[in-house]
């Protein structure tokens, strides 16, 4: 998200032509943004007709221009057919997708023209929340441009760069990967002044031979650092030596470490966890700092240390950042909390439905454990399959039983064939209902909820655990008519 500084256009027609090598047919309207999706396109956006896995963006150009797009970027071989619908920027190229290549070139031009201090964030867990925390604290100190949602892949990163106003003071970019060598071209585009790795965990492990290989893939982010840049690394992670080696082999001028390790540069001396917030007593590069986090959870507190390390590396105001963190709220699907009005009292919903892996589920269970329930209330976990865990998938699911026990979870509902391994590993008294699909779990969860309960929902995106969240909200926190829509969604 970007706070626009002036009414000046984001790009002029001459800038677009020079950056992309394209030829404009028609008169472009003022360009104020960029988009690849007509569903979220705003008037003035530059629409990139990229080819998706299932659809070709060129098929949506007439709709985009009809919705007020400033211009559409199209392949030159399609330009003549589409020009009658409005201004099009025809770009050359013989690659797999000339329009995506043009978007990359425009992103590179955006990076070249800005004087903003740029941060890149990656990690197996917590990268989106950490990116949002950085956006939050830096926005209080200057115009800040950041990735929206999880725009962290081969199209999300160049699109976010293309949207960056030239006068931004800070830029925060999330960079993700599923395979080795995916981060390399993205960090080369972003060219960060500071690069942060939150942690390394067995996420997407089916695509890697070992956890060390995941660490090597995450360490690629340091290859894009500008000369003299700063590498920020989790000192507590077992793969720290490997990540440090990547940082030392890069152009980094300095390495900053964070964690509870006694040698960490940004060290947590004490973390106080409360149901609705956390308090962190830390030492940041020798400076004592105590701050409150508006988002609860030990994992959030640990990542906040990395945030403070980045703030210090940028030369931003540490005290203002510490104050800003008190107002930090979790992103949608990553810890959002909602009170549910039941007959006879309230229950409490924790929405962790945006994706899942062993580390993030353990963190979510620990957060649920800290929530105070009402009289006779229970802590209920509703969990969907974790994907991309390779041959060890069954074991990773089954081993969550120990975390359920340690967190004092009273009842567990599961969706998916893999989560059944967890379900069967639990004592009978902790078992709720196990279903194959999340849709089949909606009614059992709704029916089981009672006043005083705290319920947490989490699972990999494709399991669609969000439908359970929407059904809970629709029945107990909003208009009941919304529930039918939530259940009928594809």
| Residue pLDDT, tens place only, 318-355 | 999 999 999 988 877 788 889 999 998 999 999 999 88
Last residue of a domain, one of 69, 98, 127: 98
pLDDT of 258: 98
Averaged pLDDT of the chain? 92
Residues 154 and 294 in one domain: yes
Position 355 scores a pLDDT of: 85
Q: Specify whether 119 is located in the same domain as 245.
A: yes
Last residue of a domain, one of 275, 303, 327: 327
Mean pLDDT, residues 231-241: 97
For residue 388 the two structure tokens come to: 């991309």
Residue 490 has pLDDT above 50, yes or no: no
| Contact criterion met (CB below 8 Å) for 28 and 65 | no
> Does some domain include residue 3?
no
> 199 near 147, Cβ under 8 Å?
no
pLDDT digits (tens, 9 = 90+) for 362-404: 989 998 998 889 999 999 999 999 998 888 999 999 999 999 9
Q: Report yes or no on 7 lying in a domain.
A: no
Q: What pLDDT shows up at residue 2?
A: 45
Tens of pLDDT, residue by residue over 168-200, are: 999 999 999 988 999 999 999 999 999 999 999
443-456 pLDDT, tens per residue?
Answer: 999 999 999 999 99
Examine the pLDDT at 483 and tell me if it is beyond 60. no
% of residues, the chain, pLDDT over 90: 80
- What predicted TM-score, i.e. pTM, was given to this entire model? 0.83
Residue with the bigger pLDDT between 294 and 490: it is: 294
SS3 at position 160: helix
The yes-or-no verdict on residue 486 having pLDDT over 50 is no
Q: What is the mean pLDDT of residues 290-315?
A: 94
User: 284 lies in a domain?
Assistant: yes
The residues that bridge with 381 in the sheet, in sequence order, are: 412, 456
**pLDDT in the model for residue 385:** 96
Q: Which domain holds residue 21?
A: 13-98
Spatial contact of 61 and 41, defined as CB atoms under 8 Å apart: no
Whether 340 and 302 share a structural domain: no
pLDDT exceeds cutoff 90 at 242? yes
In angstroms, the CA 193 to CA 197 distance is 14
Over 80: is that where the pLDDT of 480 sits?
A: no
pLDDT of residue 378: 97
Tens of pLDDT, residue by residue over 205-220, are 677 788 999 999 999 9
Q: What pLDDT does 489 receive? A: 43
Say if 234 falls within a structural domain. yes
Residue-wise pLDDT tens digits, 73-90: 999 999 999 999 999 999
Q: Who's near 107: CB < 8 A, 6+ residues apart?
A: 157, 158, 159, 160, 161, 162, 189
CB 309, CB 275: distance < 8 Å: no
Asked whether residue 485 carries a pLDDT value surpassing 60, the answer given is: no
For the record, the structure tokens of 262 come out as 């006694």
CATH number, domain containing residue 314? 3.40.1190.10
Task: State yes or no: pLDDT of 4 exceeds 70.
Answer: no
Is residue 203 predicted with pLDDT exceeding 80?
Answer: no
- Looking at the fold, whether 79 and 131 belong to one and the same domain comes out as no
Domains contained in the chain, number: 3
**Residue 286, SS3?**
coil
User: What is the rounded distance in angstroms from the CA atom of residue 179 to the CA atom of residue 424?
Assistant: 32
According to the model, what pLDDT value does residue 479 have? 47
The pLDDT value given to residue 7: 64
Q: Is there a single domain that holds both residue 482 and residue 409?
A: yes
Residues 6 or more apart in contact with residue 27 via CB below 8 angstroms: 87
What is the rounded average pLDDT of the residues 104-120? 98
Same domain, 347 and 382: yes
Residue where a domain terminates, one of 47, 74, 98? 98
Whether 112 shows a pLDDT value over 80: the answer reads: yes
Residues 22 and 71 in one domain: yes
Question: In sequence order, which residues have a C-beta less than 8 Å from that of residue 143 and are 6 or more positions away?
Answer: 2, 3, 5, 165, 167, 168, 169, 170
Whether 4 is covered by a domain: the verdict is no
Q: Is there a single domain that holds both residue 245 and residue 320?
A: yes
Q: Are residues 347 and 482 in the same domain?
A: yes
Q: Tell me, yes or no, whether 320 and 343 share the same domain.
A: no
pLDDT at 478: 59
Are residues 168 and 79 located together in one domain of the fold?
A: no
């Amino acid at each position: 998200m970007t706070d626009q500084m002036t009414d000046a256009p984001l790009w002029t027609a001459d800038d677009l032509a020079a950056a992309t090598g394209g030829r404009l047919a028609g008169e472009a309207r003022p360009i104020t943004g960029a988009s690849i999706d007509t569903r979220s396109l705003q008037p003035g956006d530059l629409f990139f007709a990229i080819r998706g896995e299932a659809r070709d963006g060129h098929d949506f150009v007439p709709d985009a221009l009809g919705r007020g797009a400033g211009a559409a970027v199209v392949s030159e071989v399609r330009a003549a057919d589409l020009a009658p619908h409005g201004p099009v920027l025809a770009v050359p190229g013989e690659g797999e997708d000339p329009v995506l290549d043009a978007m990359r070139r425009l992103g590179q031009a955006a990076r070249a023209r800005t004087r903003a201090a740029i941060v890149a964030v990656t990690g197996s867990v917590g990268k989106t929340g950490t990116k949002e925390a950085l956006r939050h604290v830096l926005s209080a100190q200057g115009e800040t441009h950041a990735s929206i949602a999880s725009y962290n892949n081969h199209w999300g990163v160049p699109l976010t760069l293309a949207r960056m106003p030239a006068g931004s003071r800070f830029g925060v970019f999330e960079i993700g990967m599923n395979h080795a060598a995916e981060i390399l071209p993205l960090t080369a585009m972003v060219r960060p002044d500071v690069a942060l790795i939150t942690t390394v965990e067995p996420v997407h492990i089916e695509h890697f031979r070992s956890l060390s290989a995941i660490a090597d893939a995450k360490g690629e982010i340091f290859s894009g650092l500008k000369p003299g840049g700063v590498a920020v690394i989790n000192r507590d992670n077992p793969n720290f030596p490997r990540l440090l080696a990547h940082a030392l082999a890069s152009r980094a001028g300095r390495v900053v470490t964070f964690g509870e390790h006694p040698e960490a540069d940004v060290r947590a001396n004490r973390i106080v966890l409360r149901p609705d917030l956390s308090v962190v007593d830390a030492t940041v590069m020798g400076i004592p700092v105590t701050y409150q986090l508006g988002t609860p959870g030990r994992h959030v507190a640990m990542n906040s240390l990395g945030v403070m390390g980045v703030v210090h590396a940028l030369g931003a105001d540490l005290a203002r950042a510490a104050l800003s963190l008190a107002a930090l709220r979790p992103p949608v699907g990553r810890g959002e909390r909602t009170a549910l009005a039941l007959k006879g009292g309230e229950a409490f919903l924790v929405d962790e439905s945006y994706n899942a892996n062993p580390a993030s589920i353990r963190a979510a269970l620990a957060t649920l454990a800290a929530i105070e329930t009402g009289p006779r209330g229970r802590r209920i976990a509703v969990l969907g399959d974790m994907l991309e865990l390779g041959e060890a998938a069954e074991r990773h699911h089954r081993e969550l039983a120990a975390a359920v026990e340690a967190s004092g979870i009273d009842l567990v509902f599961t969706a998916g064939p893999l989560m059944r391994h967890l379900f069967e590993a639990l004592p009978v008294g902790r078992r709720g209902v196990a279903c194959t699909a999340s849709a089949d779990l909606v009614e059992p969860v709704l029916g089981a909820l009672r006043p005083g309960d705290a319920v947490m929902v989490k699972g990999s995106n494709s399991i669609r655990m969000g439908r359970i969240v929407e059904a809970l909200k629709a029945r107990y926190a909003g208009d009941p008519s919304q529930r039918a829509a939530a259940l009928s969604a594809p």
